Amino acid sequence: MNNVLPTKRTLGVCFTPGGQAEVLVWAPKADLVEVSLNDGNTIVPLKKQDYGYWHVITDQIQPGDTYKFRLNEDQEYPDPASLLQPQSVHGPSQAIDVAKFKWTDDQWNNLPLEDYVLYELHTGTFTPDGTFAGLEEKLDYLKELGVNAIEIMPVAQFPGDRNWGYDGVFPFAVQDSYGGPKALQHLVDVCHQKGLAVVLDVVYNHLGPEGNYLGVYGHYFTDKYNTPWGPAINFDDAWCDGVRRYFAENLLMWFRDFHIDAVRMDAVHAIKDFSPVHILREMKQQVNQLMQETGRTHYMIVELDLNDTRFINPLEEQGFGMDAQWVDEFHHALRVTTTGENTGYYADFTGICDLAKAYRDAYVYDGQFSPHRNKHFGIKAEKNPGQQFIVFTQNHDQVGNRMLGERLGELVSFEMQKLAAGAVILSPFLPMLWMGEEYSEPNRFQYFVSHTDPDLAEAVRKGRKEEFAAFHAQGEAPDPMAQETFQNSKLQWDLVQQGAHQVMFKFYQTLLRLRRELPALKHLNRQNVEVEEKEAQKTLVLRRWHEDQQVAILMNFSAAPQKVTLPVSTKSWQILLDSAAPEWNGPQTSAATVSGGEELSLQPESLVVYVA
């Protein structure tokens, strides 16, 4: 890769061990580039280098100084590789020396990927104050729950202080209203002290509209492809070398300078790249080099809507080498099974038969015709291990992209929530929880932004209304610009210890403990999985085993009691968990001991776990 060093950051303002500032900016569109320091009182000219780069080493910039780049002795703009925007996206950048942070996590070296239990959260709505410091105060709670990896929605600087994070326009800058870069470093350090891995959501397929100044510097975008967000990021057109370097260096920065354990890369199917070496593959090669040099382990997880194993196959098999992917199809099959929804992309899913296929094959569509897409879709994922697939009952997209932002708990019964949780947590894949689901948080998670451009704000309002045409939703979408929409999306922490919310929390704790302690559930060998579904009865029996231990997970998604037969076994089956037991606010408990091949009556919308 063009001049990318895994061992150090080079773009933007960096500080040498001797305290000098080394400035490097890619601005092939400019004829003259200067640093304008402290409201323009000091001007430092840069020297032109090859391939559109401008560079200077100077004593005139100190950590804490604010600056912009002046192009062609005319307009001034923030640094494309800014680490902090203390006055939001239109203000000056602030010079930061991230290497000065005193880490205490020398003994930490990530968790094995197959042990990950993920918890997705949005920093702004997770706690009352919506900051990294506030998040730190909840880490012991997450440990008590039984998760071991927090997945933080994007923190790249966005306009204002309310945003999901996918409108970021400074990929290197940590959102100022969350606490900025040093607060993020502190959070990661504390997570590692507590044995928690940190996954950061990064967006390399588009940038937000407001405060996006990259185009004035260089050819960051191309009209060669269209994306849902406008022109694509230029990964393979003329001048793409500088763009590829920019995003590769961003990824390496999170791993190296912020000790992030894994990234979740947003919608990589929208990254358009027909280069001989795809940008994801090139990034993976760079990360491998970084890991070799530091001895630390990092994972690359992708959101992928293609059912294409090329993304997750190893480099040596000519894959892109991504470590894992989100599997929306498992969610869709489970959602249709639990709710009966059949509009939009849910129209492709029939319910329990597709859920059974997801357990067996990871992808539901692996070559058959997709009515929603009007084409044959997907490829089989036979050789990919269970830890390459991340499954969930809900996430920020599947909740927040509903018109009203309803969580699953508002759409199904208390009993069905428990069943859905077990279906995910006891699967042969990596489970991910969405913040608040573990205690059945009733507050909706809605779409919110804080754009300062009135025309853009109105366009977002209009776009939200048009987005739901396929779902035939009724009523009005909440105003994304309203402070109230953001406030209504915050978690209500006082509920965790109350009534049915406390019961749900303890139920999730128990599920996660079983997954952690039982070898048949802990080991994600997809060969040791058997599924038997009955479509008319809406029942599913999932059998998993490891060495001499077997676990049977019996699920009844119907609204009536149903008969199911336990798998044949030389040993009797002992009950471990019954979601219908009185301790979980259910009607009655199933038999404590059952012989193999024996028939059992399952309560409506319930899940029972047996071990043999």
List, in sequence order, the alpha helices (H) in 541-588.
none
For position 86, what pLDDT does the model report?
97
Residue 28 has pLDDT above 50, yes or no: yes
**For 246-290, how does the pLDDT look when each residue is reduced to its tens digit (9 = 90+)?**
999 999 999 999 999 999 999 999 999 999 999 999 999 999 999
For position 7, what pLDDT does the model report?
85
206 in a labelled binding site: no
Q: What predicted TM-score, i.e. pTM, was given to this entire model?
A: 0.97
- For the chain, what percentages of helix, strand and coil (3-state, to nearest 5) are there? 30, 20, 45
CA 336 from chain center: how many Å? 22
192 in a labelled binding site: no
Element (H, E) at 563: strand 562-565
Mean pLDDT, rounded, for 193-217:
97
Confidence bin at 4 (pLDDT 50/70/90): confident
DSSP category for residue 267: T
**For 374-422, how does the pLDDT look when each residue is reduced to its tens digit (9 = 90+)?**
999 999 999 999 999 999 999 999 999 898 999 999 999 999 999 999 9
- Alpha-carbon distance of 173 to 242, in angstroms, equals 19
- Alpha-carbon distance of 491 to 130, in angstroms, equals 10
396 in a labelled binding site: yes
For position 469, what pLDDT does the model report?
60
399 in a labelled binding site: yes
Confidence bin at 575 (pLDDT 50/70/90): very high
Mean pLDDT, rounded, for 137-164:
98
Q: Which residues pair with 34 in a beta bridge?
A: 45, 70
Q: Which residues pair with 71 in a beta bridge?
A: 33
269 in a labelled binding site: yes
CA distances from 548 to 159, 525, 553, 593 (A): 56, 14, 17, 18
Instruction: For domain 113-509, give the fold.
Output: TIM Barrel (3.20.20)
**For 298-310, how does the pLDDT look when each residue is reduced to its tens digit (9 = 90+)?**
999 999 999 999 9
| CA nearest to 48, candidates 72, 27, 65 | 27
For position 473, what pLDDT does the model report?
54
For position 474, what pLDDT does the model report?
63
605 in a labelled binding site: no
Tally helices (H) and strands (E) across the chain. 16, 31
Residue 137 has pLDDT above 90, yes or no: yes
Residue 472 has pLDDT above 70, yes or no: no
Residue 453 has pLDDT above 60, yes or no: yes
Q: Which residues pair with 517 in a beta bridge?
A: none
398 in a labelled binding site: yes
453 in a labelled binding site: no
122 in a labelled binding site: no
Non-local (6+) Cβ contacts of 95 within 8 A are: 13, 15, 21, 61, 62, 63, 64, 65, 66, 67, 83
For position 1, what pLDDT does the model report?
44
Residue 449 has pLDDT above 70, yes or no: yes
For position 2, what pLDDT does the model report?
58
Active site residues: 266, 303
Contacts 24+ apart (CB under 8 A), 106-112: 108/192, 108/193, 108/259, 109/295, 109/296, 109/297, 110/197, 110/261, 110/262, 110/296, 110/297, 110/298, 110/299, 111/148, 111/149, 111/197, 111/261
For position 38, what pLDDT does the model report?
84
- Alpha-carbon distance of 417 to 557, in angstroms, equals 11
Mean pLDDT, rounded, for 452-466:
84
548 in a labelled binding site: no
Q: How many CA atoms lie within 13 Å of 487's alpha carbon, on the beta-carbon side?
A: 3
**For 287-331, how does the pLDDT look when each residue is reduced to its tens digit (9 = 90+)?**
999 999 999 999 999 999 999 999 999 999 999 999 999 999 999
Task: Say which residue, 563 or 461, is predicted with more confidence.
Answer: 563
CA distances from 540 to 110, 358, 495, 530 (A): 35, 12, 32, 10
DSSP 63-92: TT-EEEEEETTS-EE--TT-S--TTTTTS-
CA distances from 556 to 76, 303, 550 (A): 63, 30, 20
What residues does each domain of the chain span? 113-509, 530-611
CATH architecture of 530-611: Sandwich (2.60)
| CA nearest to 130, candidates 100, 95, 160 | 160
For position 119, what pLDDT does the model report?
99
For position 374, what pLDDT does the model report?
96
153 in a labelled binding site: no
113-509 and 530-611 have identical folds: no
546 in a labelled binding site: no
Confidence bin at 227 (pLDDT 50/70/90): confident
376 in a labelled binding site: no
- Alpha-carbon distance of 476 to 201, in angstroms, equals 30
- Alpha-carbon distance of 535 to 537, in angstroms, equals 6
Non-local (6+) Cβ contacts of 184 within 8 A are: 132, 155, 174, 178, 258
Element (H, E) at 515: helix 499-517
Share of the chain above pLDDT 90, in %: 92
How does strand 156-157 pair with strand 93-94? unpaired
